Amino acid sequence: MSHKPDNLTRHKAQVIIVGAGLTGLTLAYYLRKSGLKVLVFEKQERAGGVIRTLRENGFVYETGPNTGILGNPQVIQLFSDLWPDCTLEIADEKAKKRLIWKDGRWHCLPSGLLEAVRTPLFTFGDKFRILGEPLRRKGQDPMESLSGLVKRRMGKSFLEYAVDPFISGIYAGDPDRLITRFALPKLYKLEQTYGSFIGGALKKKILEKEQTPAREVFSVAGGLENLVLALEKSIGQEHIICGATQTSVETLGREGYRIYATVNGSDHMAEAPVLISTIGSYALPDLFPSIPREEFNAIASLEYARVVQVVLGFRHWTGANIKAFGGLVPSREQRHILGVLFPSSFLSDRAPEGGALLNVFLGGMRHPEYYDLGDDQILEMVKVEVMDMMRMPDYDPELEKVFRYRHAIPQYMADSESRIKAIGRLQENYPGLILAGNIHEGIGMADRVAQAVRIAEAVVDSQ
Ligand SMILES: Cc1cc2nc3c(=O)[nH]c(=O)nc-3n(C[C@H](O)[C@H](O)[C@H](O)COP(=O)(O)OP(=O)(O)OC[C@H]3O[C@@H](n4cnc5c(N)ncnc54)[C@H](O)[C@@H]3O)c2cc1C
């Protein structure tokens, strides 16, 4: 692409960020807070990336993520820093049950050892196996799949009726293909450090009682979009350029980086010694035309789960009791949905009084073809499943919305090690270039915040 010098708006910054999703915005927020001049380029007309809250006829619903886990101090700190512009909402304790579908009905996922022993979800043999878990030898294979690890320590039924649905809920993924060390590093470390999940979790709880934040489920009062708006407000609109198309980055050697973009028909150019990308792996080679494409091969090959999300709003709920967080469906049960969340049960003001808001997920790594189905087919499939699974006598949703994500969740599979090495090599070969985002270091919102804080601190220290 060519940019005529007379039609070019020039910007200078200390740090350029590409992508204004949660990673990019959190980075910009902390870098600005440290006094650095930051400029964010975002392709879409709005900031927030996959986070978006919509409002219609008394329903407040999320497209993309619904909730996160307050699992690290950085995310707690972010909310504290943004208060009162954005208020953390913790999911209602009274609706924290997770349901698992088995043999034609929902069962509560056990939350303790005693419940695990009583539940019909696991076989008699595996319950004994679970009791013996602390005594089992620790694994030796750092590339062991999640299903391999779970079968070895807990048994097949635990894999099928606890881990498989849990992985559908987080990764929309397949535990046979995810590598524990990369996909669930905390679980991997638990076994490697303590030799056992159960024993390790107990010891960790005792040892870290004071330091570890409670792993509560969070959203934001009024919707997750309010987190985006609070970040935007603090960063300053003038530091975020939305609607930036045809972005391309040129490497300038010691001088850093130059980015070109077209915004509303006019050309923009910015230079900075540091450039941070937060975009998906598949889009990286085109963003950096001056870097040989082969250098991105091991990164761009990252696979993503395709997810279809259906939001349903019922003015009068007539189905089964949904005072729970949601329900997950094991792949073995061969239903058409991965799971369903009940946001109006655990968050306030998401549906009119007496009504209900449901967020249904389909597709994922096991059914990528659902992504290509028409809305009518998707909605019919969801209707059949929801009526049956929620025991609904009649079905009259006032709100029916379909959202598709081609690159919803990256899958940390066997190629993760080579991808992480390639990211390291690129960052070493091109000083000042940082590859952030969910291509590494976690897929959840809390992971995104933790990574952004880590990088912002490193950038500030290097100034
Ligand atoms: C359907 C769905 C459900 C989810 N559910 C949960 C959940 O329940 N809990 C949880 O913790 N997490 C969940 N996640 C994951 C979580 O939402 C993401 O990890 C997080 O929001 C990603 O933030 P990000 O900034 O890294 O990426 P993104 O939000 O993808 O932001 C990247 C930004 O880069 C922009 N961009 C791309 N290319 C360019 C370019 N060339 N130039 C300029 N800009 C560009 C994009 O437009 C986008 O705005 C879910 C994700 C999806 C899709």
Whether residue 326 has its Cβ less than 6 Å from ligand 1: no
Ligand 1 centroid to residue 22 C-alpha, Å: 7
- Quickly state the pLDDT bin for 314 (edges 50, 70, 90): very high
Mean pLDDT of all residues in 431-448: 98
- Closest protein CA for atom 34 of ligand 1: 19
Ligand 1 centroid to residue 437 C-alpha, Å: 8
Contacts of 405 (CB under 8 A, 6+ apart): 50, 64, 306, 307, 308, 309
Q: Which of 410, 422, 429 is nearest to 23 (CA)?
A: 410
Whether residue 36 has its Cβ less than 6 Å from ligand 1: no
Query: What are the pLDDT digits (tens) for 146-178?
Result: 999 999 999 999 999 999 999 999 999 999 999
> Distance between CA 323 and CA 96 in Å, rounded?
8
Testing ligand 1's pocket by substitution, the residue of 279, 361, 438 carrying the most ligand atoms inside 8 A of its CB is 279
Q: What is the mean pLDDT of the chain?
A: 94
Ligand 1 centroid to residue 443 C-alpha, Å: 9
- Closest protein CA for atom 38 of ligand 1: 279
- Quickly state the pLDDT bin for 295 (edges 50, 70, 90): very high
- Closest protein CA for atom 26 of ligand 1: 437
Q: Where are the domains of the chain?
A: 5-51+221-302+413-462, 56-67+89-94+303-410, 110-207
Backbone angles phi, psi at 242, to 5 degrees: -90, 165
pTM: 0.96
> Distance between CA 223 and CA 155 in Å, rounded?
39
- Quickly state the pLDDT bin for 309 (edges 50, 70, 90): very high
Mean pLDDT of all residues in 92-100: 94
- Quickly state the pLDDT bin for 5 (edges 50, 70, 90): low
Angle 185-194/146-153 helices, nearest 10 degrees?
A: 40
- CATH placement of domain 5-51+221-302+413-462: 3.50.50.60
For residue 51, the one-letter residue type is I
Whether residue 63 has its Cβ less than 6 Å from ligand 1: no
Domains 56-67+89-94+303-410 and 110-207 share a fold: no
Joined together, the tokens standing for residue 61 give 């619903």
Query: What are the pLDDT digits (tens) for 108-159?
Result: 998 877 887 789 999 999 988 888 888 888 899 999 999 999 999 999 999 9
The topology (CATH level 3) of 110-207 is protoporphyrinogen ix oxidase, domain 3 (1.10.3110)
- Closest protein CA for atom 29 of ligand 1: 49
Tell me what pLDDT residue 114 has.
81
- Closest protein CA for atom 50 of ligand 1: 65
Tell me what pLDDT residue 210 has.
54
CATH 3.90.660.20 fits 56-67+89-94+303-410, yes or no: yes
Q: Which of 411, 423, 451 is nearest to 184 (CA)?
A: 411
Whether residue 404 has its Cβ less than 6 Å from ligand 1: no
Tell me what pLDDT residue 347 has.
98
User: At which residue do the structure tokens 């690290």 appear?
Assistant: 72
Mean pLDDT of all residues in 26-32: 98
Mean pLDDT of all residues in 293-307: 97
pLDDT at residue 97 is higher than 90: yes
The pLDDT > 70 percentage for the chain reads 97
Whether residue 21 has its Cβ less than 6 Å from ligand 1: yes
pLDDT at residue 1 is higher than 70: no
Reduced to 3 states (helix: H, G, I; strand: E, B; else coil), residue 158 is helix
Atom number in ligand 1 closest to CA 24:
25
pLDDT at residue 308 is higher than 70: yes
Atom number in ligand 1 closest to CA 44:
47
Tell me what pLDDT residue 209 has.
61
Of 199-208, 284-293, 419-428, which range is least confident?
A: 199-208
Cα angle for residues 428, 293, 291 (degrees, 5° grid): 50
Whether residue 77 has its Cβ less than 6 Å from ligand 1: no
- Quickly state the pLDDT bin for 393 (edges 50, 70, 90): very high
pLDDT at residue 3 is higher than 70: no
Is the separation of the CB atoms in 194 and 203 below 8 Å?
Answer: yes
Of 91-105, 132-146, 317-331, 429-443, which range is least confident?
A: 132-146
Buried b (16+ CB within 10 A) or exposed e, 310-330: bbbbbbebebeebebbbbbbb
Tell me what pLDDT residue 213 has.
57
> Distance between CA 49 and CA 82 in Å, rounded?
19
DSSP, residue by residue, 202-216: HHHHHHTTTTSPP-E
Is the separation of the CB atoms in 270 and 13 below 8 Å?
Answer: yes
- Closest protein CA for atom 6 of ligand 1: 65
Mean pLDDT of all residues in 377-399: 97
Query: What are the pLDDT digits (tens) for 223-273?
Result: 999 999 999 999 999 999 999 999 999 999 989 999 999 999 999 999 999
Query: What are the pLDDT digits (tens) for 194-229?
Result: 888 887 887 777 776 655 556 799 999 999 999 999
Is the separation of the CB atoms in 434 and 55 below 8 Å?
Answer: no
